[in-house]
Amino acid sequence: MTCDVAPKLGFQKPSLIESRFFPALQGESTKMSASDPNSAIYVTDNSKQIKAKVNKYAFSGGQDTVELHRELGANLDVDVSIKYLNFFLQDDDELEHIKKEYKAGRMLTGEVKQRLIEVLSELVARHQRARAQVTEERSSRICNSGYKAHNP
């Protein structure tokens, strides 16, 4: 789509587009679906809904018991919370620390999920505040001024 739209906006076509897909909360063997509201976090969810969804549905790479987890650590390749934090957590050092501690078994699934809940709740709240400020008039004015800037 970007290849089609870019020239119309006065830009060159991109030479490479990278796409990453989020797994459903239940893991990579499932898919997000509008018919299953618990398969994804929506920008309309409130912090209570985000917490409930992550805690109940986010597939964990942790072990079955705390003792086993402390011994073997987490499988980061299947852990949904880690996959989401890879994309949404802005602090690379914190992300690497979480991965290291979780993989070694020094950090538990609940702790990783709690950090994801904090990150997603802030992101969604910020989006909701910005969305609340958008009016039809303001949206039209922004879209028209942006279009004219690239297509005099």
pLDDT, tens only, 47-94: 999 999 999 999 999 999 999 999 999 999 999 999 999 999 999 999
CA atoms of 74 and 108, how far apart (whole Å): 8
Q: Where is average pLDDT lowest: 37-41, 66-70, 118-122?
A: 37-41
Q: Which domains does the chain have, with CATH numbers?
A: 42-134 (1.10.240.10)
Mean pLDDT of 101-122: 98
Distances (CA, A) of 149 to 9, 92, 120: 9, 35, 34
Residue matched to tokens 């929506």: 42
Please count the residues of the chain.
152
Q: How confident is the model at residue 152 (pLDDT cuts 50, 70, 90)?
A: very low
Task: Name all contacts of 3-12 with Cβ < 8 Å and 24+ positions apart.
Answer: 8/151, 9/147, 9/150, 9/151, 10/150, 10/151, 11/150
